Amino acid sequence: MSKILGIDLGTTNSASAVIEGGEPKVLENNEGARTTPSIVAVNKSGERLTGLLAKRQSVVNPQNTIYSVKRLIGRKWSDPEIQRDKKWLPYEIKESASGGVEIKMADRWYKAEEISAMVLQKLKADAEAKLGGTVEEAVITVPAYFDDSQRQATKNAGEIAGFKVRRILNEPTAAALAYGMNKQKNEKIVVYDFGGGTFDISILEVGDDTVEVKATGGDTHLGGDDFDRIIIEYLIAEYKKQEGIDLAKDTLALQRLKEGAERAKHELSTTNESEINLPYISSSDSGPKHFLMKLTRAKLESLVGDLISHSVDLVKEAVTAPSPKGAGLKLSDVNEVILVGGQTRMPAIQEAVKKLFGKDPHQGINPDEVVAVGAAIQAGILQGDVKDILLLDVTPLTLSIETLGGVATPMIEKNTTVPTSKTQVFSTAGDNQTSVEIHIGQGERPLMADNKTLARFILDGIPPASRGLPQIEVVFDIDANGILTVSAKDKATGKAQSVKIEATTSLNKDEIEKLKKEAAEHATEDQKKRELIEAKNQAESLIYIAEKGLKDAGDKVSAEIKEEIKQKLSYLKETRESDDAEAIKNATNELSATLQKIGEALYNKKDDAPSDN
């Protein structure tokens, strides 16, 4: 079965995504970008271009480059929006026989849905290339304010492009789906969508498995492009003031300035100041001229401040105005706010929205892609990929086994998806140890004593051997129902023991939170304790090696070296009893360095030995 494609068919840019392995994935287009300009053109040689390629020739072919077709789709010619838009659109439009809108592109008249279909066709072809198979079905998003005729026309566009359109989905609903808010009952959600050329507000109410649009608002002619224009205009005016040169007239200079300004705008989302440095941007009688200007975040915010406060006013109106103009709610009634559209990366916008509602807006998902992601999730639900039954549990806390010194050694880390299993081989801590205790615990603290004990059992009958020699294989296995089985096996004898612990994933929520909180509170102190124990363990094993080494070496090593080792050894034994991890480590390192002399001495003896020949 082929995948259903989730499509955000935007005014300026479009994007598509699918569910893969249960997760939404935004697809790159043929040009390697994650969004595709919603532009179609026919060039002078009659060839049709779509997306980025159409955009690249738009300047020299404005009459035959069709963009913003979403402003026209499904509308009547008499619609005031059409009457307003026809004044500034560089291509020709006319009233169709049925009272709709037709668009002229290279001597032929097209319906708006035919143009949109060309964009959809490109998305389809690129998705097929990426996924390696045919894509026949799609979920396409539209603004919440679209009426039946606009929705039908969008659906037609999808069918013309060769899709079976499974659903026409509201853009704000898609955004809410992307954040998994479709399950939250009786919540009121505001979606603040600042796209390239349009600004949309939607107020949603989530009920029993339904998402209802309570009100919409915004400005169809306000967008991120206005921000860019204002910045460029400011920079050009400033430069003119400083140097008396108008950069707007120089194509190359303007190009470099646009790129520089865009870079600065992006930078100012994370820094407070950005330098636009464009050497040799122009020249005058007195020689070359450079462009060097600092743009601060404060300056940028003051330039576009009016646009932001205008957008905030519109939000207030859409939320509080009585129906049908608004949702008739109080600002404090709103439970969640979602930011959509690239322009919402600007910290001043995030701040303004936060101030208005008194809560942090959701913005974890790339705001350019969140609608496509939501469309893919809807597609996944229709396809059966996103079924509740397939939702896999995760272990809420780390499952560990106690090792030398009371350390909790993690076997299965928290948030691991189950079913899962993990095998690790352990050994004994003492010589001739014939049994081991398997102590299983749950929690994030590094010491077992601080975690919750789930079970303990003893594996005995291990043949006596030096420490570290026996191999005890421990397996942690959690099945799909959260049942943990821990087994331990002595590899030499095959003797095994196991224990079953029910429902490790269904700890109650408070308990999980408590354990997590404790872990966070004790993080530093625990780390120190753990370091101390590790240092002691290392010291312990080196003492063992050193004593064994001394015994084995016999008289092959000079008394001098032996004496040195003995001294360091007794010092380490003494230090080991202290609680100073640093001192123990140093003493361990010193002994370790001295011990190497045994090895050297032994090798030298070998070299000195007379040959048998």
Q: List, by residue number, the catalytic residues.
A: 8, 70, 171, 193
Rounded Cα distance between 185 and 572, Å, is: 64
What is the smallest separation between the CB atom of 283 and other proteins, expressed in angstroms? 6
**Given the complex with other proteins, which of 266 and 467 has the nearer CB atom?**
266
Q: Which structure tokens are listed for 530?
A: 């753990």
**Given the complex with other proteins, which of 260 and 443 has the nearer CB atom?**
260
**Given the complex with other proteins, which of 61 and 420 has the nearer CB atom?**
61
**Given the complex with other proteins, which of 21 and 80 has the nearer CB atom?**
21
Rounded Cα distance between 527 and 519, Å, is: 11
What is the smallest separation between the CB atom of 211 and other proteins, expressed in angstroms? 24
What is the smallest separation between the CB atom of 369 and other proteins, expressed in angstroms? 16
Whether residue 35 contacts residue 368, with contact meaning beta carbons closer than 8 Å, is answered with yes
Contacts with other proteins, residue ranges (CB under 8 A): 20-22, 31-32, 43-45, 49, 52-57, 59-61, 251-252, 255-256, 259-260, 263, 277-281, 283, 287-288, 385, 389-390
Class of residue 45 by CB neighbours under 10 A (exposed 0-12, middle 13-18, buried 19+): exposed
What is the smallest separation between the CB atom of 2 and other proteins, expressed in angstroms? 13
Residue reference for tokens 């090792």 = 403
**Given the complex with other proteins, which of 283 and 558 has the nearer CB atom?**
283
What is the smallest separation between the CB atom of 345 and other proteins, expressed in angstroms? 15
Whole-angstrom CA distances from 346 to 178, 189, 298, 469 are 21, 21, 12, 61
Q: Which structure tokens are listed for 100?
A: 């709709």
Indicate the pairing of strand 108-111 with strand 101-105: antiparallel
**Given the complex with other proteins, which of 327 and 376 has the nearer CB atom?**
376
Residue 209's contacts (CB-CB under 8 Å, 6 or more residues apart) are 182
Whether residue 279 contacts residue 256, with contact meaning beta carbons closer than 8 Å, is answered with no
Q: Where are the alpha helices (DSSP H) in 280-394?
A: 297-320, 347-357, 370-383
Class of residue 261 by CB neighbours under 10 A (exposed 0-12, middle 13-18, buried 19+): buried
What is the smallest separation between the CB atom of 197 and other proteins, expressed in angstroms? 20
Whether residue 94 contacts residue 109, with contact meaning beta carbons closer than 8 Å, is answered with yes
Q: Which structure tokens are listed for 133?
A: 């198979």
